[in-house]
């Protein structure tokens, strides 16, 4: 079974994530942030991963620390659950509409971390449920660093920030589902290792 359970405790946060890659899309627990609970539930549903989160943090300061640490722990759990990556497709991409929003995501489980986001709209002024868009982006940045993957996100269209972020998480989830699918017997790299 491709699964992992990771805990991380700092002076700012306490995060534990159990992850099953070959799951049925179940989300349990709480991130400590209502909007992130919603996004993690979408992530579980559309990736078909089972995700159980127990998290708390210094949200009286802001949401940045907890969202970043959720990404770190999810990334570590993802990397551990994949093991040597034998048999995976490795690459995944998805374009997801959410009403007026349209988001494209591409991922390479490459062993090299890189986060690349471009938007056709100004995201610097955006916030949803009191969370600045820049803080939500920290989840993806932290995930890519911890999981050693390359992630490209393109926000092609959008007005409603909730729709944009929801499309981002759904597109990310579908890309992960595709990239982690077992389609071969070897390690998908000419080097023989990822």
- For residue 188, being part of any structural domain is answered with no
- For residue 137, being part of any structural domain is answered with yes
Count of domains for the chain: 1
What CA–CA distance (Å, rounded) separates 54 from 16?
5
- C-beta atoms surrounding 122 within 10 Å: 8
What CA–CA distance (Å, rounded) separates 25 from 45?
4
- Helices 64-82 & 133-147 angle (0-180, nearest 10): 30
What CA–CA distance (Å, rounded) separates 189 from 126?
39
In this structure, what CATH number is given to the domain that contains residue 170? Answer: 3.30.230.40
- For residue 192, being part of any structural domain is answered with no
What CA–CA distance (Å, rounded) separates 8 from 13?
8
Alpha carbon 8 to its chain's center: 17
pTM of the predicted model as reported, rounded to 2 decimal places: 0.97
What CA–CA distance (Å, rounded) separates 100 from 28?
29
pLDDT per residue as tens, the chain (194 positions): 999 999 999 999 999 999 999 999 999 999 999 999 999 999 999 999 999 999 999 999 999 999 999 999 999 999 999 999 999 999 999 999 999 999 999 999 999 999 999 999 999 889 999 999 999 999 999 999 999 999 999 999 999 999 999 999 999 999 999 999 999 999 999 999 99
Q: Which domain holds residue 170?
A: 3-180
């Amino acid at each position: 079974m491709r699964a992992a359970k990771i805990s991380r405790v700092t002076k700012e946060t306490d995060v534990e994530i159990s992850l099953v890659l070959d799951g049925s899309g179940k989300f349990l627990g709480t991130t400590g942030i209502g909007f992130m609970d919603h996004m993690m539930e979408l992530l579980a549903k559309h990736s078909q991963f089972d995700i159980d989160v127990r998290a708390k943090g210094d949200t009286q300061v802001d949401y940045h620390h907890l969202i970043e640490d959720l990404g770190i722990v999810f990334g570590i759990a993802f990397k551990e659950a994949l093991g040597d990556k034998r048999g995976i497709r490795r690459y995944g991409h998805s374009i997801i509409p959410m009403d007026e929003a349209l988001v494209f995501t591409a991922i390479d489980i490459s062993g090299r971390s890189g986060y690349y986001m471009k938007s056709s709209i100004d995201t610097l002024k955006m916030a949803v449920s009191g969370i600045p868009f820049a803080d939500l982006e920290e989840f993806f940045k932290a995930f890519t660093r911890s999981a050693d993957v390359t992630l490209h996100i393109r926000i092609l269209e959008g007005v409603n920030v909730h729709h944009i972020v929801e499309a981002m998480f759904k597109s990310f989830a579908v890309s992960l589902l595709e990239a982690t699918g077992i389609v071969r017997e070897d390690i998908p790299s000419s080097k023989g290792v990822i």
